[in-house]
Amino acid sequence: MSGIRAVEVSELRANWSHELEAAAGGDVLVTGRRGAREVVLMPPDTWRDGRAVVAVNDSQCEELTSMQVRTGFRKVRQAVQRGAHVVVTVWGDVTGVLVPYEWARQVLPEIDLLESGAPSTPRS
């Protein structure tokens, strides 16, 4: 994992392609609105490792293309807030996964550093 950053939902949506590439490269992005953490975009390997720690039923998982996520971002975000895990693909390759914030906290305790006001982990 390269680093953990906090971004507003509007920033994630506006820079979707760039941020998805960052996740594919190992970054974890914690996003929400007005300071409330809601959704985490993480690398596929981090998600797979996390599923070994905190189980996720296959029925909770949905695969969408990057374009489907970008154009339907509000509905996707709401589904993730309700517990869905959205596997994001580009040309058939999994490049990132959107997961509920509370699930991500269980598998990546270092996310809590963002809550404490500590600076985001720098990108490498």
Distance CA 116, CA 97 (A): 25
Q: How confident is the model at residue 49 (pLDDT cuts 50, 70, 90)?
A: very high
Q: Is 103 helix (H, G, I), strand (E, B) or coil?
A: helix
- The predicted model gives 12-28 an average pLDDT of 93
Q: What is the pLDDT of residue 3?
A: 87
Collapse the DSSP code of 7 into the 3-class scheme (helix H, G, I; strand E, B; otherwise coil) and give the result. Answer: strand
- The answer to whether the pTM exceeds 0.85 is yes
Q: What confidence category does residue 16 fall into, taking pLDDT thresholds of 50, 70 and 90?
A: very high
Fill in the amino acid letter for 55: A
Residue 123 predicted with pLDDT over 60 = no
User: What is the Cα 45 distance to its own chain's centre?
Assistant: 12
Rounded distance, CA 47 to CA 41, Å? 9
H helix or E strand, kind and range, residue 11:
helix 9-14
| % of residues, the chain, pLDDT over 70 | 88
Three-state DSSP class for 65?
A: strand
Q: What is the pLDDT of residue 37?
A: 87
Helix residue ranges, H only, 16-117? 16-24, 44-53, 66-71, 73-81, 101-107, 112-115
pLDDT single digits (tens) 71-90: 999 999 999 999 999 999 99
